[in-house]
């Protein structure tokens, strides 16, 4: 009887060691900036799937974007520390600017300031102006599914006093 108890205890310990360790589920998040319908900046990040759309939108304040071939066509000075994308140019040309982030929403700003940061190993070297991210918070669109999962559905960001 004593050997049966010992065997059962050893078996239980062995089974607990070979069971897979529960891993935290990862949610892949794609963020893109489109200019006239073409992606010019892209990045990916991930989280555990718990942050709501408002929290995911705020990722845009810290993620670094990699320029695409379409970005190079914009002919932004290679030494420029920042760049301003504008919906309306001085010559009258109209453009469409779209910010989109999976699980966080989509916005169409009139202007978007890009800030160059030191390039990382993946070639990501641009960030968004946090004031622009905040300005678009209240104007962005999200799906009904994402809206139903907001932690604070009435949350709004105070408007920043920045001339556009």
As given in the structure block, the two tokens for residue 144 are 């009904």
Backbone angles phi, psi at 74, to 5 degrees: -75, -15
Provide mean pLDDT across the span 46-69. 96
Alpha-helix residue ranges (DSSP H) falling in 19-151:
53-58, 69-72, 130-137, 144-148
pLDDT digits (tens, 9 = 90+) for 112-164: 999 999 999 999 999 999 999 999 998 999 999 999 999 988 878 765 545 44
Domain borders along the chain are 27-148
Query: Who's near 68: CB < 8 A, 6+ residues apart?
Result: 38, 39, 40, 41, 42
Beta-ladder partners of 35: 38, 97
pLDDT digits (tens, 9 = 90+) for 33-45: 999 999 999 999 9
pTM summary value: 0.79
Whats the size of the chain, residue-wise? Answer: 164
């Amino acid at each position: 009887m004593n050997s049966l108890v010992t065997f059962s205890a050893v078996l239980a310990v062995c089974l607990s060691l070979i069971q897979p360790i529960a891993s935290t589920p990862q949610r892949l998040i794609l963020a893109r900036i489109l200019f006239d319908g073409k992606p010019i900046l892209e990045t990916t990040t991930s989280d555990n799937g718990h942050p709501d759309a408002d929290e995911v939108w705020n990722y845009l304040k810290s993620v670094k974007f990699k320029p695409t071939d379409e970005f190079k066509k914009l002919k932004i000075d290679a030494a420029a520390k920042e760049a301003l994308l504008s919906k309306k140019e001085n010559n009258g040309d109209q453009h469409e600017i779209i910010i989109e982030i999976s699980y966080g929403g989509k916005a169409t700003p009139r202007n978007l300031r890009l800030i160059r940061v030191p390039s990382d190993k993946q070639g990501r070297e641009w960030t968004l102006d946090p004031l622009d991210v905040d300005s678009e918070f209240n104007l962005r669109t999200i799906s009904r599914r994402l809206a139903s999962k907001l932690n604070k559905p009435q949350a709004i960001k105070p408007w920043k006093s920045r001339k556009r």
